[in-house]
């Protein structure tokens, strides 16, 4: 029972600080779940993020459900999910009830602009960390170059050519699948 409360309150704390969606929450999740609590590893957290991207729902909520389930089964998944969602639902209800009357006040507009900038910085930080992990990963230089090219192709496809993100994710997944087959064959040949 103590673990369920711990899951709930840990994810409630993360939910209070996680502005800007799943990628902006990644540094907070890393600090709380890996460094402080040692509930998961960086590799495992990145796997959860990958799976959360292709499952319906909000990425950070899905990740909290996965980690809660890992720690304490269905009850842990429910506790972690409720903990993560409750602060944002509460803040949304309170904000929605008062923001309409104050939305024309310049200081409120500046506050929201500042929050948007902070969220952008958190997302950029996450992208740079993920890119750094890809480049530091053991493996051939060819795989690192392909990873960077895939990242650039996905970015330009989205920003310049306005390609639907679903197609970008599918194409990147398919390319990764094809490349992993080649690297597995090469590893088996190297082992012989």
CA pair distance 68, 4, nearest whole angstrom? 8
In this prediction, residue 160 carries a pLDDT of 92
Given a cut of 80, whether residue 14 has pLDDT beyond it is yes
The per-residue pLDDT of the chain, averaged, comes to 82
Do the Cβ atoms of 83 and 7 come closer than 8 Å? Answer: yes
CA 102, distance to chain mean position in Å, is: 32
Which is higher by pLDDT, 54 or 10?
A: 10
Residue 123 pLDDT class (50, 70, 90 cuts):
confident
In this prediction, residue 76 carries a pLDDT of 94
In this prediction, residue 186 carries a pLDDT of 53
Task: Give the residue ranges of DSSP H helices in the chain.
Answer: 2-17, 22-29, 42-54, 59-102, 106-136, 141-159, 165-191
């Amino acid at each position: 029972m103590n673990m369920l409360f711990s899951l709930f309150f840990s994810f409630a704390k993360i939910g209070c600080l996680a502005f800007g969606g799943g990628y902006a929450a990644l540094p907070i999740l890393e600090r709380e779940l890996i460094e402080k609590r040692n509930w998961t590893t960086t590799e495992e957290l990145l796997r959860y993020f990958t799976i959360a991207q292709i499952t319906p729902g909000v990425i950070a909520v899905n990740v909290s459900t996965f980690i809660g389930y890992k720690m304490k089964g269905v009850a842990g998944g429910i506790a972690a999910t409720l903990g993560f969602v409750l602060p944002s639902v509460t803040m949304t209800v309170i904000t929605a009830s008062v923001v309409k009357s104050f939305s024309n006040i310049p200081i409120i507009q500046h506050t929201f602009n500042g929050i948007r900038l902070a969220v952008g910085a958190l997302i950029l930080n996450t992208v740079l960390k993920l890119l750094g992990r890809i480049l530091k990963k053991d493996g051939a230089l060819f795989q690192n170059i392909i990873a960077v090219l895939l990242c650039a192709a996905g970015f330009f496809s989205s920003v310049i050519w306005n390609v639907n993100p679903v197609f970008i994710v599918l194409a990147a997944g398919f390319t990764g699948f094809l490349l992993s087959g080649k690297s597995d064959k090469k590893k088996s040949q190297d082992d012989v």
